Amino acid sequence: MSAVLERRPVLNVDAVRRDFPILDLVVNGRPLVYLDNAASSQMPNAVIERLVKYQKEEHANIHRAVHYLSETATREFELAREKARRFLNAREAREIIFTRGTTEAINLVMHGYGRAFLKAGDEIILSALEHHSNIVPWQMLANEKGVVLRVIPMNDRGELLQEEFAKLFNRNTRLLALTHVSNALGTVNPVKEMIGYAHSHGVPVLVDGAQAAPHKRVDVQDLDCDFYAFSGHKLCGPTGIGVLYGKAERLEAMQPYQGGGDMILSVTFEKTDYNVIPYKFEAGTPAIAAAIGLGAAIDYLEGIGLAGIEAWEHELLAYATSRMKETKGVRIIGEAADKSAVLSFEIDGVHPHDVGTILNEEGIAIRTGHHCAQPVMQRFHVPATARASFAFYNTLAEVDKLMEGIVKVREIFG
């Protein structure tokens, strides 16, 4: 089966792989098989070279000086913002705020919206699928303000229970904070419908898009979400950069999260007038190189095409799922009808950490642990899982290597 599919892929994987120098690495004497893309994806030459060009020819601080380099860096930084706007189909570039990543984006909303406007007794709806970064900030708010957190439960396949979701809304509901795709199980949530439902109750919605934006076309106007967050490093871009999209009217009403340079119009010791959005939320010198690198990563992904990426990753997932199902002693955790290319699994009688260690000896990189989603682990009564997560540069032959590695694990543990 793998040979047949490999001959007619929906994108040219061999050509794509040549764009990623790290994929030529030999690890423990074996060619690297990188299946930890949900944690962080790899960087193509186009992005690496863009970063080098910036450092060699364009670097200066932005938004302040009239000299050539500062103007160049400012222009390229703002061009990256425009690329992010287009990538999400946001209405305006000022709706794109650069952050350190998804985590900082969510914290920004917690401070700017949650701390500013919520009071004791107000309620926030989260889901049982959330990454810690979309739980802990809201818990901090709950502890500080007496805000109440309500959690949408899921079934044994890892799908959110829509009837239970609907029941959680009441007069005190102030926010729905929901992941688009689960990093631990791969579940794709029906966010558009859920956003529509929340809005019918007048409740704004924050979507954690960390695991969605790299794998499928996202259109924030079509979703009609109030906020959308993602990270550059999961999208073939650099670490230290991410995006918070917010509807302009929401951002304008919000409090800045951090104070400092660049986020002000005027300062006296009595009073500060804040800058307009997005600058109001970008205090201090930002990650200029990383933002420009993210712009290059967006160009690269769009050059390949999100539709082809999604289709190929879907083939990888379907093939890996069927191979795992026919392997004795292996149990898949998370079997939602709509899934992204994340495969969490358990091997009978073997701790996930040992699975990861033995696979690493074969040059295969997966993640083991709780994936920063401990409530998901608790729901499935496991301390941890092994997780293979695919990107568009992975091959069916790599899935075969993963399965050979799993057979080896079973042999070692008898």
Residues with catalytic roles: 372
Task: Tell me which stretch binds ligand 7TS (CB under 6 A): 71-79, 101-109, 329-337, 406-414.
Answer: 101-109
For position 210 contacting ligand 7TS by CB under 6 A, the verdict is yes
**Contact region with ligand 7TS (CB under 6 A), list: 96-104, 165-173, 278-286, 390-398:** 96-104
Options 50, 83, 94, 131; binder of ligand 7TS; rule CB under 6 A: 131
Q: Is 74 in the site for ligand 7TS (CB under 6 A)?
A: no
CA 278 centroid distance within chain: 21
Please state the φ and ψ torsions of residue 37, each to the nearest 5 degrees.
-75, -20
Of 381, 379, 383, 380, whose CA–CA distance to 368 is shortest?
383
Report 169-208 residues binding ligand 7TS (CB under 6 A).
179, 183, 208
Number of residues that bind ligand 7TS (CB under 6 A): 16
Of 102, 107, 187, 385, the one binding ligand 7TS (CB under 6 A) is: 102
**Residue 151 CB-half CA count within 13 A:** 13
| Contact mark string toward ligand 7TS, 226..255, x via CB under 6 A | -----x------------------------
Structure-token match 């930002």, residue found = 286
Calpha distance 345→362 (Å, rounded)? 18
What are the DSSP calls for 57-106, one per residue?
HT-S-SSS--SHHHHHHHHHHHHHHHHHHHHHT-S-GGGEEEESSHHHHH
384 forms part of the interface with ligand 7TS (CB under 6 A): no
* 216 counts as binding ligand 7TS under rule CB under 6 A: no
Interface with ligand 7TS includes 368 (CB under 6 A)?
no
Burial track 143-156 (b if 16+ CB lie within 10 A, e otherwise): eeeebeebbbebee
Determine if 39 is a binding residue for ligand 7TS (CB under 6 A).
yes
Angle at CA of residue 197, ends 224 and 217, nearest 5°: 35
Binding of ligand 7TS at residue 133 (CB under 6 A)?
A: yes
Residues that bind ligand 7TS (CB under 6 A): 38-39, 101-103, 131, 133, 179, 183, 208, 210-211, 231, 367, 371-372
